[in-house]
Structure 1
Amino acid sequence: MTYVIAQPCVDVKDKACIDECPVDCIYEGQRSLYIHPDECVDCGACEPVCPVEAIFYEDDTPEEWQAYYKANVEFFDELGSPGGASKLGPVELDHPLVSALPRQGADE
């Protein structure tokens, strides 16, 4: 795993990172985006374009969002490795960590 999408993405899903990802490894869940740990090539293209600063290099993830590393990995337990987010499309699923959060942003 190289990059992690953390709590600031929940209920925002701007998707600028998806447009920048050269390997199509950022998948869309119901309330958040997730980076596939085996498909990410550690290029870092996604990090600077995130408007809510939700993407972190694994070792740089703030302490309060460390659990999002596990959430990004475990999100793919059922999905496996589809080989690209665009051919799979949005998934009606989220990691339990994300599902348990109250709604964020304008919909609060």
Structure 2
Amino acid sequence: MRGGGVFSDEEIQLLRELPAVANVTHNRITYSDAFKQVCTIRYLAGESPTKIFREAGLPPELVGYKRIERSVARWKAAAIKSVSGNDHLDDSEIIAQLVERYKRTLV
């Protein structure tokens, strides 16, 4: 396993079986909305993105550290923008609003 590159057919099959993955090709992973939401909340609460991905069955050695870093940064920025529209909320306020929004979505 080497991270961040092209996925083999075997790696694609492994990734497709994970609930965190909506789709995967040789070059790209599309994550499920539920995984993105949970990941964003956990990250804002202080957890390591690598730990979150690893626990979802997405080892950084396969997925790639840079791919994880970029994904989480993108999701965090989108979540903050969707909640506040500005930068006046602290992480705990953003988390509270996201949890409420995502609860409605996931239930």
Q: TM-score range by the shorter chain?
A: 0.3 to 0.5
Structure ranking higher in strand proportion: 1
Structure having the higher Rg: 2
Structure ranking higher in helix proportion: 2
TM-score (norm 2): 0.36
Higher-RCO chain (CA-CA 8 Å, sequence separation at least 6): 1
TM-score (norm 1): 0.36
